[in-house]
Amino acid sequence: MKLPPNVSEWLNLLTRWFHIFAAILWVGTTYYFTWLDARFQDEEGSSKGDGEKVEVWMVHSGGFYVVEKRKTPSLRRLHWFRWEAMLTWLSGMLMLTVVYYMGGVMVDTDVRDISVTTAVLFGLGMLTVGWIVYDLLVQSPLGRSERAFAVVAYALVVGAAYLSTHVLSGRAAYLHVGATFGTIMAANVWMRILPAQRRMIAAVKDGRAPDPSEGARAKLRSKHNTFMVVPLVFTMISNHYPVATYGREYNWLILSALVLVGWVAAKIVRRA
């Protein structure tokens, strides 16, 4: 079903605006806390171990702010950062539906002559299977080795890039690899990070010591999100440059390279 051109364009414009704004809030807070955590590590490394509190001082908008990191939650009011992720994912899925699933750009008969329904189901399957495989890998023994996990994860990304570009149109393939990253990121927040934090808070309320492994697992998922977001943005931007990206003969290799460059860029940003 196709929408009238005027309705489709306005819906596309408003959804895209909302999606980008929500993503700015989500990515901004993610990298802010990543930067903040790195500064705490710097402060802890330079402290003399005399029992002095480790704090990070900042200045912004005419004010001075001091932050102290704790591993045990307080029962006072906590400020959560969660709706940015949900709103970004929901608006992204709406845009994916309007532009791709209802926009007639899912299928390229020169790539594979399939129906739009088949292409849509394949795309949705990528999002679902991507999260399941990622989640199982993180929870497996492989998830304990950062290097081994990265190697296997990248091999799977290359496989997804190759398969999707040989089933969907190049444009749709790029976006669905990016949407898979976005789905994993949002699921990390709502299905793994937030529940772990809630369990830690519940332990304090019950007078029990919170399990530190809960915080470690949540932190690992958050770290993975900072690596996925850069190639995700690359895949979004690539749709405006078909000659250089998805329109090329070996578009899956270009997509694979973009993901790798994104991971390297994220690693540099995390160290900044």
pLDDT of residue 48: 62
Residues in the chain: 272
Contact 225, 131 (CB under 8 A): no
Q: Which domain holds residue 46?
A: 5-271
SS3 47: coil
pLDDT digits (tens, 9 = 90+) for 48-70: 666 667 888 889 888 998 888 87
pLDDT digits (tens, 9 = 90+) for 197-223: 899 989 988 888 888 899 899 999 999
Region 86-107 average pLDDT: 92
Task: Tally the domains of the chain.
Answer: 1
pLDDT digits (tens, 9 = 90+) for 186-197: 999 999 999 998
**Whole-number average pLDDT of the chain:** 90
Using CA atoms, how far apart are residues 216 and 214, in angstroms rounded to an integer?
5
Q: Please state at what angle helix 251-271 crosses helix 170-187, rounded to 10 degrees.
A: 30
